[in-house]
Amino acid sequence: MKRGGGRSSPDVAPSPTPARQRPPDPPGTVNGSQNPELVPDRVAYSILFRFLSDRQSEDEKNSMRFYLRQKLGGGDCDATEEEKAATDNVIDALLTAATEFSKQVAPLDSEAKSLKDKHWPNPSSDVMGSLARLQARKDAAVLKLAASLRGRFTGKVKESAKLERLIHENLKRKIKITPSPQSPPGGPGWREANGRHH
C-alpha cells in the first residue's frame, strides 16, 4: 500500500484490544475443571437433580432423555442392545431420583426462601443456624438418593460405569465452588458465594 511520499510500507493490523481479565478466584475456591476430584458428590448430584426435576410435559421429558443419552453414550446407531439398555436404565433411575429429590427438597427450599425474605439483609445468628440446618437436610437427601442410584445398579457394571463417568468426568468438571461467606450479609466477610456450574 502506498502512503505519503510514494514510499511503500506493509499494512499493519491495529493492536487487539486487551481482553477483560476476570478477577482471580478467592483463596479456597474449588475449580472442577482443574480438580474434579475435589468437588463433593452432594454438590454434583444436587445440580444434576435440580436440572432434571420438574419436567412436566412430554416434550420436556423427552428433551431430558435426549440430553442424558448424549452424555451417557449408548444412544448412537452403532451401540449394542446391551449398551442401549444400560443407558436407558441409568436415565430411568436418574429421572426417578430427580422427581423424588424435588418432592423432598421443595419444602426445604420454600422454608429457606421464607427465612431469607423475612430477615435479609440482616439475619440473626439464629436465622443463619436455621438455614445451615436446612442445607444439611438437603445435603442428606441428595446423598441418600445418590446412594439409592448405586444400589439399583448393583451387579450391573455398565450402568455403574456410565453414572460414574457422567458425574466425575463430565459434570464435576463444570462446577466451581467458592468459599462460604465468613459473616452474615452486610458483615465484613460477606460475599455471595455458592457452588455453581458453567
CA-wise closest residue to 84 among 64, 63, 69, 97: 69
Q: How confident is the model at residue 175 (pLDDT cuts 50, 70, 90)?
A: very high
More confident residue, 179 or 77: 179
Number of H helices and number of E strands within the chain? 5, 5
Q: Which of 22-36, 58-72, 133-147 has the highest mean pLDDT?
A: 133-147
> What distance in Å separates the CA atoms of residue 12 and residue 26, rounded to the nearest whole number?
40
Statement: residue 91 has pLDDT above 70: yes
Expressed in percent and rounded to 5, the helix, strand and coil fractions of the chain are 60, 5, 35
- Cα separations in angstroms, 45 against 68, 95, 144: 14, 12, 11
Q: How confident is the model at residue 184 (pLDDT cuts 50, 70, 90)?
A: low
Residue 125 has, within 13 A of its CA and on its CB side, a CA count of 1
Strand partners, 8: 2
Residue 196 in contact with residue 175, Cβ under 8 Å? Answer: yes
What percent of the chain is modeled with pLDDT above 90?
51
Average confidence (pLDDT) over 114-122:
91
**Per-residue pLDDT, 121:** 86
- Residues 151-168 have pLDDT tens digits of 887 668 889 899 999 999
